[in-house]
């Protein structure tokens, strides 16, 4: 395993992060392909055995069940100080009730305590805002996150899936007030979705902010022929909403990916991850592994070196895509 500094911090993280969205309860989550606790634990244990020390979850994943499963497994299999643990806040946890969801001070202070309880830990290493909140002043959000850090409940803060201007605004608000700034951006970034290269990634590079891409394999679409199906590809409506509209344009990229993988004698996922790992500021892609073999394959990608010609060959067919991930400002009927 390789370890690198987490952006402009002194913390070391593995170059592969295990994402825990796929661990949970199908009765509490819209995704019907998630693994229950019994099937999740061997995957988490395998990650640790491979040297992965970076784990990512969120309060919303299976309505808290992901945090519970991950927390219990890490408590059983690892020492807390050896782990870099991240969770997130934003989505509604109590549907239909006021003060549920968003990034108000009330919500952040409540949800960090609930997450810590489910994770069975006194602190997280990284507390991430899952999306932008148009209904809460960013000053309120950033001061609350600063207080979470100063209280010892999180070591750092990060953000996920927003427009670059929003991320920049949050950083400047924190800077002007002497509050804790974000050290990471968990954004939607892979070989068939590269809109982040326009503004977000250059900003993160300039500010030395760690990038931890989610959906690095495009929900599996970079791992196989599109004629092949899995339970996830058949039932994951989020996957369809992210990628179906550009399938025709992306087909050539996927075919080139298969060609390069064949030339290297490896599976496609390794080339897709090697491509990401070759990008500036990408610290650790978030791998949503559901089998031990998925993790073994991901770690093997660290040993693959792509030439500049191969990188260009994989990239040159890309065309602009609709933005997927950042939330647009809600439109209300007047």
Strand, coil or helix: what is 85?
strand
In the block, residue with structure tokens 């004698």: 265
Structure token pair of residue 38: 């019994």
Sheet holding 17-19, edge to edge: 210-211, 182-186, 154-160, 124-129, 84-89, 54-56, 17-19, 286-287
CA–CA distance, 253 with 127 (Å, rounded to integer): 34
Phi and psi at residue 188, in whole multiples of 5°? Answer: -80, 110
**Where do we find the tokens 């700034």?**
181
Residue of 216, 214, 285, 219 whose CA lies nearest to 247: 219
Distance between first and last Cα of the chain: 55
Distance in angstroms (rounded) separating the CA atoms of residues 118 and 65: 8
Separation of alpha carbons 137 and 143, rounded Å: 10
**Do 10 and 47 contact (CB within 8 A), yes or no?**
no
Q: Is 234 exposed, middle or buried (0-12, 13-18, 19+ CB in 10 A)?
A: exposed
Catalytic residues: 61
Q: Please, what is the Cα angle at 318 between 260 and 273, to 5 degrees?
A: 45
Structure tokens at 209: 């902010």
């Amino acid at each position: 395993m390789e370890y690198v500094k987490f952006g402009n911090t002194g913390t070391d993280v593995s170059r592969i992060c295990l994402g825990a969205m796929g661990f949970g309860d199908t009765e509490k989550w819209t995704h019907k392909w998630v693994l229950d606790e019994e099937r999740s634990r061997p995957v988490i244990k395998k990650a640790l055995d491979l040297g992965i020390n970076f784990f990512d979850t969120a309060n919303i994943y299976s309505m808290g069940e992901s945090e519970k499963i991950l927390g219990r497994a890490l408590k059983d299999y690892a020492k807390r100080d050896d782990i870099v643990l991240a969770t997130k806040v934003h989505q509604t946890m109590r549907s239909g009730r006021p003060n549920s969801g968003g990034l108000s001070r009330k919500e952040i202070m409540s949800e960090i305590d609930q997450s810590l309880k489910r994770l069975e830990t006194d602190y997280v290493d990284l507390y991430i805002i899952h999306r932008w909140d148009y209904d809460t002043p960013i000053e309120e959000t950033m001061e609350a996150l600063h207080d979470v850090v100063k209280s010892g409940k999180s070591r750092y803060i990060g953000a996920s899936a927003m427009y670059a201007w929003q991320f920049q605004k949050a950083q400047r608000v924190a800077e002007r007030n002497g509050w804790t700034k974000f050290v990471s951006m968990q954004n939607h970034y892979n070989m068939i979705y590269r809109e982040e290269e326009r503004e977000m990634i250059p900003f993160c590079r300039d500010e030395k902010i760690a990038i931890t891409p989610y959906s690095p394999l495009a929900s599996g679409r970079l791992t196989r022929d599109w004629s092949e199906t899995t339970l996830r590809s058949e039932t994951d409506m989020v996957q369809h909403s992210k990628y179906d509209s550009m399938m025709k344009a992306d087909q050539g990229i996927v075919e080139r990916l298969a060609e390069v993988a064949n030339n290297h004698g490896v599976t496609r996922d390794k080339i897709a991850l090697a491509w990401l790992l070759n990008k500036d500021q990408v610290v650790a892609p978030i791998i949503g592994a559901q089998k031990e073999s998925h993790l073994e394959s991901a770690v093997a990608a660290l040993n693959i070196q792509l030439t500049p010609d191969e990188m260009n060959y994989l990239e040159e067919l890309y065309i602009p895509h609709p933005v997927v991930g950042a939330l647009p400002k809600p439109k209300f009927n007047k």
